[in-house]
């Protein structure tokens, strides 16, 4: 019998930024899509593994975590524009005082 935990650990997208690339208009998307919002093509996608580097577009620091959440405070959430052009929301794991727009960042995966 296969282990469910092992199955999820071995997923290729588990510790990578897996998205899609529209072969029609050359745009990149994260999370993956099946219809391109730019050229409206359906099915013109190929899987794409992002490099995991980009820059902070905007950010906010949360000083009081929601109740019943086991997380440290403060923590910073940022919209990051990946080098390929896709944008994503992510936590930034450095001191809030050292974060600025335009700051270069790279992806780091950790257990929550």
Per-residue pLDDT of the chain (112 residues; tens, 9 = 90+): 455 566 555 666 567 889 999 999 999 999 888 899 889 888 789 999 999 999 999 999 998 887 777 777 888 999 999 999 999 999 999 899 999 999 999 998 876 5
Structure token pair of residue 30? 């994260």
Give the C-alpha separation, 76 to 78, whole Å. 7
Domain residue limits, the chain: 13-49, 52-107
- State residue 2's pLDDT score: 53
Amino acid 47: pLDDT: 93
| Burial label, 36 (beta-carbon count in 10 A; 0-12, 13-18, 19+) | buried
Residue pointed to by tokens 């529209």: 22
């Amino acid at each position: 019998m296969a282990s469910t935990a092992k199955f999820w650990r071995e997923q290729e997208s588990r510790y990578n930024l897996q998205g899609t690339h529209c072969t029609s208009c050359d745009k990149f998307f994260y999370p993956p899509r099946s219809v391109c919002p730019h050229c409206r093509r359906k099915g013109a996608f190929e899987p794409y593994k992002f490099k995991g580097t980009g820059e902070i577009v905007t950010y906010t620091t949360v000083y009081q975590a929601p109740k019943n959440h086991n997380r440290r405070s403060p923590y910073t959430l940022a919209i990051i524009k990946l080098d390929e052009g896709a944008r994503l929301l992510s936590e930034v794991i450095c001191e809030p005082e050292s974060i600025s727009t335009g700051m270069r960042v790279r992806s780091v995966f950790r257990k929550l």
